[in-house]
Amino acid sequence: MRIAVTDTNIFIDLIKTNLLINLFKIGVSVTTTEEVINELLEYQQAVLSPFIESGNLIVSSLSADDTRLIESWPIPRGLSVVDAGLVLFAKTGEDYLILTNDQLLRSTCQHYHIEVHGILWLMDLFFEQGLSTGLELCEALSQLMKGFHRLPILECGIRLTEWSAC
């Protein structure tokens, strides 16, 4: 089974749009780091808590050795230690992919040949797998586009048109 290493911003977006439950239904094992969980607000952590307790969300911690290794990497300026930790974690196996909307993290993943996807890819899966209706996804995407979000406008428009026709 594929393992989806999930970044803070994906959790924030899925919680904000009430689509979080679908993440655990797409046929991947969902994991993250304790450092990502600590970046979330208290209420967001509370939303994730049942998934952690049930074992649907696996949370790992970076060791002191991991942190030293990250600090010795030639990582791009501006990439946080938390994000670099996700890259380190995903590099440990072939079946890993990273879920993020962060452009710097995405380009770092591409540099290390790690598969990376964002919220639009997830929404596409939710639609294709029948986990969300077109209307639900249109509402969720519109909500994300209203906030401070750097989603590609053209790609969003295509999806809004496709999903609203369903």
As to burial, measured by CB atoms within 10 angstroms (0-12 exposed, 13-18 middle, 19+ buried), residue 48 is: buried
Residues 6+ positions from 119 with CB-CB distance below 8 Å: 10, 13, 14, 101, 144, 151
Q: Predicted confidence band at 25 (pLDDT cuts at 50, 70, 90)?
A: very high
User: Edge-to-edge strand order for the sheet containing 57-60?
Assistant: 57-60, 29-33, 3-6, 96-99, 115-117
Q: Predicted confidence band at 38 (pLDDT cuts at 50, 70, 90)?
A: very high
Domain 3-120: state its class: alpha beta
Q: Predicted confidence band at 115 (pLDDT cuts at 50, 70, 90)?
A: very high
Does residue 120 carry a pLDDT above 90? yes
The DSSP 8-state label assigned to residue 73 in this structure reads S
Residue 67: its pLDDT value, please?
83
Entry pTM: 0.94
Averaged confidence pLDDT in the chain: 94
